[in-house]
Amino acid sequence: MSSRRIFLKSVGTVTSAALVASSLSERTRAEEDPNLKGRVKQSVVFWCFNARGDKWSIDKTCEVAKGLGCPSVELAGPETWDTIKKHGLVCAIAPNGMPGAPFMRGFNNTQFHAEIIERTGKTIDACADAKFPSVIAFVGYKWTNPDDPKSAAITQDDAFANCVKGLKELARHAEKKGVTVCVEHLNTRDSSDPMKGHPGYQGDDLDFVSSVLRKVGSPRIKLLFDIYHVQLMHGDLIRRIEQNKDVIGHVHTAGVPGRGELDENQEVNYPAVMKKLIDIGYTGYVGQEFIPTRDPLAGLKQAVKLCDV
């Protein structure tokens, strides 16, 4: 009888230990890889973690992305793509190859069409070869000389017509290569930092940008729906996702209003927004594009967890 009690006690101890070990193992996995559901394909935007603060290398960014369960590191130039592929990742959206601040010289201004189409076309070719899905594009600043706010302004009607014309030309090449061009809507309200807002950008109205894309009418010309920029300019995020579900090709995040972490100090209900993206059948990537204000790894872990719904 005593032997039986000893046996049962030892079995209970072993079982309890196994359960504890299993629980610890699950918790460790969750801490190392918060993107457990994986219904939202998340991407790490390279410039946010390379340009400021700790200045992560492309290797480190890829290692972090992979460790967090993010299948992509994006907005990284072709010179980084061998490293991205080495880590088994993709570049979900590529820069368009325009020098300087690429959002200043866009399709609204015909004097830049030839250069934009040539440079973006080469990036489309490179993306097709690398089997990467998309490349970014911009409307551009509203002045005929983007560097001079005192130069003549481009009218909204002209901007619309110019964007449609240029994007239709680019669409033919994008369709042939199977690469999507995503035009980004940006906010003009925040003038505190050149990467937090873009006063003068002519594509600051979401309806304007979406109307351009619908007029182009190509499955390879889509919208980059940046949650941060849309919230600053319009709000009403869930309804706007529904209204634009036919043209959304890529998504970006950041905390509002400061473009910092996706934490308790910002106003967007990110889990609800991610659930809406799932509800509309969005299967593209969501790029984490916040500017770190504290430990970048801790902030990125928090953001990835929050968006894993």
Strand partners, 277: none
Q: Token pair of 268, please? A: 């967007």
- CA nearest 90: which of 138, 53, 42? 42
Number of domains present in the structure of the chain: 2
How far from the centroid of its chain's Cα atoms is residue 96's Cα?
Answer: 14
pLDDT for position 288: 98
Cβ atoms 300, 260 nearer than 8 A: no
Annotated active-site positions, please? 184, 289
- Does 129 lie in the same domain as 88? yes
Rounded Cα distance between 117 and 39, Å, is: 34
Instruction: State the CATH number of the domain containing residue 302.
Output: 3.20.20.150
- Measured at the CA of 199, the angle between CA 196 and CA 202, to 5 degrees, comes to 115
pLDDT for position 191: 97
10 Å Cβ neighbour count for 305? Answer: 17
Based on the number of CB atoms within 10 Å of its own CB, is 255 exposed (0-12), middle (13-18) or buried (19 or more)? buried
Strand partners, 41: 285
- Does 232 lie in the same domain as 105? yes
Give, rounded to a whole angstrom, the gap between the first and last alpha carbons of the chain: 52
Strand partners, 182: 136, 222
Sign of the CA dihedral running 75, 77, 78, 80: negative
Strand partners, 157: none
- Does 269 lie in the same domain as 143? yes
Question: pLDDT tens for residues 78-126?
Answer: 999 999 999 999 999 999 999 999 999 999 999 999 999 999 999 999 9
User: Whole-prediction pTM value?
Assistant: 0.88
- Does 27 lie in the same domain as 44? no
In the chain the beta strands, taken as DSSP E runs, fall at 41-45, 72-74, 134-138, 180-184, 221-226, 248-253, 285-288
- Does 187 lie in the same domain as 68? yes
Rounded Cα distance between 163 and 217, Å, is: 12
Cβ atoms 167, 211 nearer than 8 A: no
pLDDT for position 51: 86
- Does 86 lie in the same domain as 17? no
| Structural domain boundaries enclosing 2 | 1-31
Instruction: Walk along the chain (309 residues) and give the pLDDT tens digit of each residue.
Output: 444 343 334 434 433 433 333 333 333 333 445 446 999 999 999 999 998 778 999 999 999 999 999 999 999 999 999 999 999 999 999 999 999 999 999 999 999 999 999 999 999 999 999 999 999 999 999 999 999 999 999 999 999 999 999 999 999 999 999 999 999 999 999 999 999 999 999 999 999 999 999 999 999 999 999 999 999 999 999 999 999 999 999 999 999 999 999 999 999 999 999 999 999 999 999 999 999 999 999 999 999 999 999
pLDDT for position 33: 56
- Does 189 lie in the same domain as 270? yes
10 Å Cβ neighbour count for 80? Answer: 20
- Does 52 lie in the same domain as 14? no
Amino acid in position 124: I
Rounded Cα distance between 63 and 222, Å, is: 30
- Does 157 lie in the same domain as 111? yes
Q: Token pair of 97, please? A: 């190859």
